[in-house]
Chain A
C-alpha cells in the first residue's frame, strides 16, 4: 500500500474528528449479521443505488467468510468502503429494512458493510482482478471522484485502457476533499482510490479546462466520460461577501481534511441548511468555535438536510436561526465581524418576503456559505452539441450516454448533486454503456 504514504492525517484533525459511528468488533458483527432475516429479493438491495446484494454479504459475515462478503460487495460497488461510511443509510438500505415494520431495529447494514470492507483492506487485500482479454480502446475519465473511479474500475476490469484526469493532486474527489472527516477520513478515501488505480487505471493530475486540452483528449481517447461533478459553491450574493473570513463550506472542509485549517474564531455562522451546511457547522464546533449558528431562510420543517443530520447538528450544539436571510457582511480590518440579516416570510406559493425593519446583526468571526454548488456551465458550454438541462448533462439513465456519441457522463453533473453511492451507480452504468457501445463497433 505504498500509495497511502502520500498522505498522512494531521494528528490534530484525528483528535478532533473521531469516528462518528465506531466500527463493529468481530463478534458484534456476527451477532448483528445473525439478526438479518435474509429477505428474498430484499428491499435493502433494491433501495441501494448500486444494488449491493445485502442479504448475501450479511450471510457471509454470519458465517465468518469476511473475504467473500467484501468481494461480493465490491462486485456491485467498487467504492464500497467509502459508501459504508458516508451513505445516508437511513433513507436507503436501512430505511427500507423490513424490521421497521414490526417494531424492531433495522439491521445495521452500513456498519456491517464497513466491517467487511475495513477487514478486507486492513488485511492488505486488493480488489480481485477479472481475467478479461486486453482491449485496445482507450477511455478518459474527467474528474477523479466516485463516478469516474467507478466507471474506470469497471472498464479496466473489462480490459480497457483507462486514464483519469483531475486538477487536484489526490484522487477521490469529494470523498477525499469534501466528506466530513468523522464520517470518512481522507486517508481511507485514498486507500480505496489506490486500490482502483492498482487495477491498472492511470491517474493524471491535469486540468482539462480549455478547448486545446479537450481537442487533444478527443484525439487520444475513444470515449470520454464526464465525472466532473459540480462547480464552485454559490456566493452569498450580498454586500461584503468577498471579505476575509467568508469561506465556502467545501473549501472550509477541504482545508480541515488536508490539515491546513485547524482553528476557527469564536463565532461562526453557516448560511444554508443542507447536509454540507451541517458538516461545516459541526466541523466548526469540533475546531473549538463556541457559538455556531446555522442561518436558514425557511422554517425548521423545510430543512433540506436529512433528519439524522439535523439531529446530529443539534446534539453537537449547533444553534439554528430560522426564516432569516443574510443581507450584508460587515467587516473590520478586512475580516468579517457581523452578519446583517433580515427576517423573511414565505407564502404558500413559496415566495419570500422580507419583513420591513426586521434587520439585525449577528456577531461573527467567520461566515460559511453552504447554499449549494453551481453547475460547471462554462466548461459545459465548450461542447456545442451537449444537451444540458437545469445545469445538468442530459443522459440516457441506463447507459450514461450523452447527446454526443463520444461522451458519457455520470455523478453530480448529471443528477444535480446526490450521494457518493449515486455517483458510483452512474459511473458503473456508464462503464457498461461504454463497453456495450465499443462491443458493437464504433
Chain B
C-alpha cells in the first residue's frame, strides 16, 4: 500500500492534500471538519489587519452545461480579528496535532509588523507560514499581496524580514500575474525561503451581463477585476510550476495550486515536482468530502505503478519538458481511425478541413484503390448532397424489408472518414475532437531519418543554415 505521508520542507502531513488559503479555511470549525473528512493540512485564510468585504464576491464561467469551469473572486483576506484566528489555530493544533496547519500572512510592508505577525502565528502553534504575495485584487491596491509578488525587490526584502525571526518553514506564495514567474521564485530563493507555492489566482473579469451591460461579479452596478481559479487555470499553473522547477536558481520545494479537482490533477502536479498540493475551488463546489477519492485514487494509482511514496515519482516529468528548439523534427505520427469504434459523427473530417490540414476525407464508400488517392470533395458538398436527398419515414406496411436498414446499427462505411497519411501532419486535432475514447489514435511512422532538433539543424543559431549566403 502506498504511503501518502509527506514531509514538505519540514512540514509533516498525513497526506499531500491541503486546503488552500481561501474561504474553505476561514475558521477553526471549518478546518476541523475538513480534517475529519480526510484533508492532510490547511493553509489558514490569510491573517492580517481585518478588512471589510463587499457583496457579491464570486462569479464563475460555465461551460457546455457544466457549472464553474472557472471561478473568480473579489473577496479579500480574513475579515476576522487576528487574535480570533490565532486562538482558533491553537485550538485546531491541540485537537489535530498530526495535521498540518499553515498560517497565511499578509501585513503592511514594515519590518516590525512582519516580525510581530510571524511570532504571533508561530506562538499560536502554526506548523509553517505562507506569505501571501499573490492576492490580485483589493489588497494589491494597498501595496500588499500581488503588489509585493510582482516586485522581486520587495518580495525578497519581506521574505528576508520573515526569515530573520521565523522558526517554522516559510512558504512564499507566487502570483501568476507577472511576465516570468521565475523572477519572483528566484527572489524567494535568494531570501532563503524554505518553499514556494503557486499559483495564486489570475486577474480576470468573468463576463458581462448582456441585459445590464454590467460585468460580473456585480457590486451595486460596478465590478472589479478578481482572481480566477478552478479547472480552467490548471494548464497555466502546470506551466508556471514546470518553469520554476526546471530552473535551478528558482526551484524550491513547491506546493502546487491551480484547478486541482481530483487525484489525477494532483498526480500531474507531483510529476512536475510539487511536494504537496492545495485545493480550493473543487471544495467550494462540492465540499470537503472530495478528499476521500483524492486519497483513495492517488493511492490506487501509486500501487498500480509500484510507487511507495510521493517522492518515488515526484518531478519525473520536469526533464521531459524542454524548449521547442530541442524537439525532434523527424518524429512523425499520423492519425489512425478505429473503424470498429467510429460512430460516424465526422467531427474529425470537418475539424481537419476547417481547422487543420485537409487530410481527413469522406470517400471511403468508393472502395479501395491502387496508389495514392486525392479526392478532395469539400465539406459543403456533402451537406448539399444530404439536403438534396429525398428521405422518407420508414413505414413497415409500405416499406416491408427495408425497415432493417434503419435505426441503431454499426456505422455505415460512407460515414467513416479516411486519413490521408501522406498528408497528415500528426497535429492531434482529430483525436482531440473525437468523442469516442481510443477511436482515433496517433500512430508513429518511422521516417528512417535520425532525430534532429531545430537547434541542431541551425547549428544553434536559430536560423536556417541553408539561408546563409557566401560572399
With both chains docked as a complex, state the minimum distance between the C-beta of B338 and any C-beta of chain A, in angstroms: 12
- A430 beta carbon closer than 8 Å to chain B: no
Known: A416-B398, A422-B393. A95 touches B408 (CB 8 A): yes
Q: Which residues of B contact A51 (CB under 8 A)?
A: 386-387, 389, 391
Is A34 touching B65 in the complex (CB atoms < 8 A)? yes
> What's the Cα separation between A91 and B399 when bound, in Å?
13
Q: Which residues of A contact B346 (CB under 8 A)?
A: 39-41
> What's the Cα separation between A274 and B395 when bound, in Å?
10
Total interface residues in chain A, CB < 8 Å: 46
Q: Which of B387, B389, B393, B398 is in CB contact (< 8 Å) with A421? A: B393
- B418 beta carbon closer than 8 Å to chain A: no
> What's the Cα separation between A51 and B387 when bound, in Å?
6
- A386 beta carbon closer than 8 Å to chain B: no
Known: A34-B64, A418-B393. A40 touches B343 (CB 8 A): no
With both chains docked as a complex, state the minimum distance between the C-beta of B16 and any C-beta of chain A, in angstroms: 34
Map CB proximity to A onto B101-117 as digits: 1 under 8 Å, 0 otherwise: 00000000000000000
Is B345 touching A49 in the complex (CB atoms < 8 A)? no
- A174 beta carbon closer than 8 Å to chain B: no
- A129 beta carbon closer than 8 Å to chain B: no
Known: A38-B347, A49-B392, A415-B392. A95 touches B387 (CB 8 A): no
Is A39 touching B347 in the complex (CB atoms < 8 A)? yes
Is A41 touching B386 in the complex (CB atoms < 8 A)? yes
> What's the Cα separation between A88 and B393 when bound, in Å?
8
Q: Which residues of B contact A418 (CB under 8 A)?
A: 392-393, 395, 398
| Most-contacted residue by chain B among A41, A51, A100 (CB, 10 A) | A41
Within 8 A of A (CB), among B297-351: 341, 343-347, 349-350
- B396 beta carbon closer than 8 Å to chain A: yes
Is A102 touching B398 in the complex (CB atoms < 8 A)? no
Is A419 touching B397 in the complex (CB atoms < 8 A)? no
Is A41 touching B392 in the complex (CB atoms < 8 A)? no
Q: Which of A90, A101, A422 is in CB contact (< 8 Å) with B343? A: A101
- A31 beta carbon closer than 8 Å to chain B: yes
Q: Which residues of B contact A38 (CB under 8 A)?
A: 347
Q: Which of A30, A33, A100 is in CB contact (< 8 Å) with B408? A: A100
- A417 beta carbon closer than 8 Å to chain B: yes
- A68 beta carbon closer than 8 Å to chain B: no
Is B393 touching A102 in the complex (CB atoms < 8 A)? no
Is B390 touching A91 in the complex (CB atoms < 8 A)? no
> What's the Cα separation between A429 and B406 when bound, in Å?
23
With both chains docked as a complex, state the minimum distance between the C-beta of A61 and any C-beta of chain B, in angstroms: 11
With both chains docked as a complex, state the minimum distance between the C-beta of B66 and any C-beta of chain A, in angstroms: 8
- A397 beta carbon closer than 8 Å to chain B: yes
- B394 beta carbon closer than 8 Å to chain A: yes
Residue of B nearest to A32 (CB): B65
Q: Which of A46, A92, A95 is in CB contact (< 8 Å) with B389? A: A46
With both chains docked as a complex, state the minimum distance between the C-beta of A322 and any C-beta of chain B, in angstroms: 16
Dominant secondary structure of chain B at its interface with chain A: loop
Is B407 touching A49 in the complex (CB atoms < 8 A)? no
Q: Which of B382, B393, B396 is in CB contact (< 8 Å) with A304? A: B396
> What's the Cα separation between A179 and B390 when bound, in Å?
25
> What's the Cα separation between A45 and B345 when bound, in Å?
12
- A262 beta carbon closer than 8 Å to chain B: no
Is A417 touching B408 in the complex (CB atoms < 8 A)? no
Q: Which residues of B contact A2 (CB under 8 A)?
A: none
Q: Which residues of A contact B370 (CB under 8 A)?
A: none
Q: Which residues of B contact A48 (CB under 8 A)?
A: 391
Is A91 touching B386 in the complex (CB atoms < 8 A)? no
- A259 beta carbon closer than 8 Å to chain B: no
Within 8 A of B (CB), among A66-90: 87-88, 90
- A398 beta carbon closer than 8 Å to chain B: yes
Known: A417-B398, A422-B393. A43 touches B415 (CB 8 A): yes
Q: Which of B344, B383, B392 is in CB contact (< 8 Å) with A422? A: B392
Known: A37-B345, A37-B435, A41-B382. A91 touches B408 (CB 8 A): no
Residue of A nearest to B380 (CB): A41
> What's the Cα separation between A48 and B393 when bound, in Å?
8
With both chains docked as a complex, state the minimum distance between the C-beta of B286 and any C-beta of chain A, in angstroms: 18
> What's the Cα separation between A415 and B394 when bound, in Å?
11
- A47 beta carbon closer than 8 Å to chain B: yes
With both chains docked as a complex, state the minimum distance between the C-beta of A198 and any C-beta of chain B, in angstroms: 27
> What's the Cα separation between A34 and B415 when bound, in Å?
23
Q: Which residues of B contact A289 (CB under 8 A)?
A: none
Within 8 A of A (CB), among B370-389: 379, 382-383, 386-387, 389
> What's the Cα separation between A12 and B387 when bound, in Å?
43
Is B393 touching A91 in the complex (CB atoms < 8 A)? yes
Is B65 touching A398 in the complex (CB atoms < 8 A)? no
Residue of B nearest to A48 (CB): B391
Residue of B nearest to A47 (CB): B391
- B1 beta carbon closer than 8 Å to chain A: no
- B411 beta carbon closer than 8 Å to chain A: yes
Residues of B within 8 A of A (CB): 64-65, 341, 343-347, 349-350, 362, 379, 382-383, 386-387, 389-398, 406-408, 410-411, 415, 435-436
List the 4 shortest-distance A-B pairs measured between CB atoms, nearest first.
A100-B408, A34-B65, A40-B350, A101-B343
Given A40-B379, A51-B387, A304-B395, 4 more A-B residue pairs with CB atoms under 8 Å apart are: A37-B435, A43-B344, A51-B386, A51-B391
What are 8 A-to-B residue pairs whose CB atoms are below 8 Å?
A35-B65, A39-B346, A90-B407, A92-B393, A96-B407, A274-B397, A305-B396, A415-B392
